[in-house]
């Protein structure tokens, strides 16, 4: 009786490597959440002589609210006189861009909970578009603010003289050294949305391997 049995060789298949942190939904979800929450903080500021007298949050832009007096800034009368034109400014597309940026950020956050294919592709698109809409908001607001200062100078010159002159307009502009600046929170929000798009891309590539 032949007791020699054929040797059966088994092939060991190592388990698939873990996708790592970038292969999960956590990074993109956190990035989108940070970008959306930053809309609650001041996005822009009006300054006079280096002092912040008013600010506006990202949510204020989306809701179409006016400027809010900054704590420790000028008094109510000074604020009213120096930001009068800002409250009357032509809003242009600023509010719509803010709504788009915020809405796309929320949509990207929700898509982060979907599977890697749908959530990844959707997150890339929404993250990039949200950042783009935020940049558009900044450019549009700067144009609106410059136009409002110019109109304020013209109105003030009309009140103080029978005829307008370039020197009169220049002097009036110097009387109102109001400047518009966007806060670090605004730029961090843009970076967060772009980072979320990048994380969504990394998630897709990690799942595709």
pLDDT of residue 6: 59
Evaluate whether residue 6 is within a structural domain. no
- pTM of the predicted model as reported, rounded to 2 decimal places: 0.74
Evaluate whether residue 10 is within a structural domain. no
DSSP per-residue string spanning the chain: ----PPPPP----PPPPP--GGGSSHHHHHHHHHHHHGGGSEEEEEEETTEEEEEEEHHHHHHT---EEPTTS--HHHHHHHSHHHHTS--TTHHHHHHHHHHHHHHHHHHTTS-HHHHHHHHHHHHHHHHHHHHHHHHHHHHHHHHHHHHHHHHHHHHH-SS--HHHHHHHHHH--EEEEE-HHHHHHHHHHHHHHHHHHHHHHHHH-
pLDDT above 80 (res 146): yes
Evaluate whether residue 17 is within a structural domain. no
Average pLDDT over every residue of 102-116: 91
Evaluate whether residue 172 is within a structural domain. yes
**Would you place residue 32 in the very low, low, confident or very high pLDDT band (cuts 50, 70, 90)?**
very high
Number of domains composing the chain: 1
Evaluate whether residue 1 is within a structural domain. no
pLDDT of residue 37: 97
Range of the structural domain that residue 69 is part of = 22-204
Evaluate whether residue 29 is within a structural domain. yes
Evaluate whether residue 14 is within a structural domain. no
Higher-pLDDT residue of 50 and 78 is 50
Average pLDDT over every residue of 165-170: 45
**Would you place residue 20 in the very low, low, confident or very high pLDDT band (cuts 50, 70, 90)?**
low
| 64-68, 81-85, 107-111: segment of lowest average pLDDT | 81-85
Evaluate whether residue 143 is within a structural domain. yes
| 33-42, 161-170, 197-206: segment of lowest average pLDDT | 161-170
């Amino acid at each position: 009786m032949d007791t020699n049995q054929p040797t059966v060789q088994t092939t060991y298949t190592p388990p698939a490597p873990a996708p790592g942190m970038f292969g999960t939904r956590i990074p993109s979800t956190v990035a989108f959440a940070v970008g959306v929450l930053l809309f609650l903080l001041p996005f822009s500021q009006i300054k006079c002589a280096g002092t912040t007298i008013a600010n506006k949050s990202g949510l204020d832009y989306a809701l179409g609210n006016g400027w809010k007096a900054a704590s420790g800034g000028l008094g109510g009368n000074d604020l009213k006189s120096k930001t009068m034109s800002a409250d009357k400014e032509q809003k242009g597309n600023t509010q719509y861009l803010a709504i788009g940026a915020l809405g796309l950020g929320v949509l990207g956050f929700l898509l982060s909970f979907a599977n890697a294919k749908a959530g990844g592709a959707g997150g890339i698109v929404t993250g990039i578009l949200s950042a783009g809409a935020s940049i558009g908001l900044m450019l549009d607001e700067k144009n609106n603010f410059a136009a409002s200062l110019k109109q304020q100078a013209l109105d003030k010159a009309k009140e103080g003289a029978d005829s307008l002159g370039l020197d009169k307009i220049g002097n009036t502009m110097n009387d109102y050294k109001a400047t518009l600046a966007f806060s670090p929170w605004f730029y961090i929000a843009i970076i967060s949305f772009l980072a979320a798009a990048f994380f969504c891309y990394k998630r897709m590539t990690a799942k595709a391997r």
